[in-house]
Amino acid sequence: MTSSGTVPRPVVDLVARVTGDEKHDPSAHSTLDVVWVLYDQVLRVFPDDPEHPDRDRFLLSKGHGPASTYAVLAARGFFPAEWLDDVASWDSPLGHHPDRTLVPGIEIGSGSLGHGLPIAVGMALGLRDRSRARVVVLVGDAELDEGSNAEAIAVAGRFGLDNLTCVVVDNHSDHLGWPGGIGARFALEGWAAADVGTSDHAALAAALRATAPDRPTAVVVDVPAGPEAAA
């Protein structure tokens, strides 16, 4: 477990090993701090038993940029690091979008914007009366422009899904804007909402661990916009 404000060099090196025509580098790299802190300090996962019924579920809705998630899963021992050297080849289990039937530790096939949060709501509903597992879904700020997310935010608030956390990686690439900020949009529908940056991993971990009774939680993570910020 680490608590510094930087991702360990070996994990960064694993990201650099990801090969293939990875067309969403900014989208992938903007998630690295969040995914690392989740798997290093927050999530209850079992690399030797990826389907353990009591595992926390991490859903990468931003599946069009999976490089950082692949690297973190490899670092945690879900699959061999050598898989990163051959992404998207004919017989590689690692594709440009993650496939839950091929990759240990991947919970959903994703990448089409607007799907992850609605799936997470259904998963949290299914788990809350039979498991203490959390459902954590990572979305992009621009992805929230999709109408399916507005419906999911409203439904999760009405059902009081306290086992659900939505992490919004805000790289300032949305097109519609959020009056009062992204967190205010979630709070309007009954969510507990927090804002945090990526530079302080201890603060990020604390925000990601926090839950509220009878309410879902939204954690908005500010990422400075790069020249090619992506949803």
Q: Which of 24-28, 132-136, 159-163, 207-211 has the lowest mean pLDDT?
A: 24-28
Q: Is the per-residue pLDDT at 227 higher than 80?
A: no
Q: Are 23 and 101 in contact (CB under 8 A)?
A: no
Q: What is the mean pLDDT of residues 78-103?
A: 92
- Token representation of residue 155: 């439904």
What average pLDDT does this structure show over 59-81? 94
Q: Which CATH class is domain 29-46+54-222?
A: alpha beta
Spans of all domains in the chain = 29-46+54-222
Residue 156 has pLDDT above 70, yes or no: yes
Indicate the pLDDT class of residue 229, thresholds 50, 70 and 90.
very low
* Mean pLDDT, range 160-186, rounded to an integer: 89
List the alpha helices (DSSP H) in 18-129.
Answer: 25-29, 32-37, 67-75, 116-127
Residues 6+ apart with CB under 8 A from 54: 44, 131, 132, 133
Stretch 22-49: mean pLDDT, rounded?
Answer: 87
**Average pLDDT across the chain, whole number:** 90
Over 70: is that where the pLDDT of 25 sits? Answer: no
Q: Which residue has the higher pLDDT, 91 or 133?
A: 133
Q: What is the pLDDT of residue 173?
A: 78
